[in-house]
Amino acid sequence: MTEIVPTRELENLIRNETRPVLIDVFAEWCPPCKALAPLIDKMSAELKDQVRIVKMDSDDSHAGDPAIPNPLANFMAATGTRTIPTLALFENGQFLDIYRGNNRTQAAITAWMEKTLGRKLNEPSVAPPLHDYAIIFNNVAGTPEEKMASISKFFNQEASPELARVFLAQRARIVGASEDADGSGDIGLIFRTTDDVAKQIAKIIPDKKIIGVSAPPQPLP
């Protein structure tokens, strides 16, 4: 049987898995999902050395507390998932694509994965390594919540559409925040991406400092 991953654990799985990750979004009440399940079980067993194949229950919203981000909603927004079953492919922490074909056979899905990855499944990854960077916001006053609100305002109202597209396309994933201990009011929004994309972001917002991050980021409040 294919492993079912709780939505709250999905981000860590995608981020830390060295193999490509194929996620089957399903629901117990969904007849097409049940029809696809035997094929997913077969592929997860046969391709386990090349691809991490897991299932995610679309009814496992992990919602209820408005202070806790809804990982299912984040996943749906990031991948553009609208229906189930949906197969979503990730590699090196980055969302690549969802399978849009009607031919749900192992050969067709494998061919799609190889085309999307740009290599055969038994070949080494060609994906560039990801690193943590911080966009530094200087002298931000207020409580931690007010500081995060200022950063949210920057992305929602002040940042260019070009910067928003970089993050919405999942070429950069916001993973946490850090605050200077010297009381300066500086705060860094931590994002994970490739070196090239970090350089692009630095050009898009030249008035903000982009630095590499060595310490683990703190979860967003």
For 188-220, what is the HEC assignment?
A: EEEEEECHHHHHHHHHHCCCCEEEECCCCCECC
Task: Give how far the C-alpha of residue 3 lies from the chain's centroid of Cα atoms, to the nearest Å.
Answer: 19
Contact 97, 89 (CB under 8 A): yes
Q: Can 67 be counted among the known catalytic residues?
A: no
pLDDT score, position 61: 67
**Omega cis (within 30) before 129:** no
Active-site residue, from 10, 21, 25, 33: 33
Q: Which two tokens stand for residue 81?
A: 């998932």
- Compute the distance between CA of residue 71 and CA of residue 59 in angstroms, rounded to an integer: 12
- Compute the distance between CA of residue 77 and CA of residue 140 in angstroms, rounded to an integer: 29
For the segment 87-140, what is each residue's pLDDT rounded down to a tens digit? 999 988 888 899 988 899 999 999 999 999 999 999 888 777 788 899 999 888
For the segment 16-34, what is each residue's pLDDT rounded down to a tens digit? 888 999 999 999 999 999 9
Q: Can 30 be counted among the known catalytic residues?
A: yes
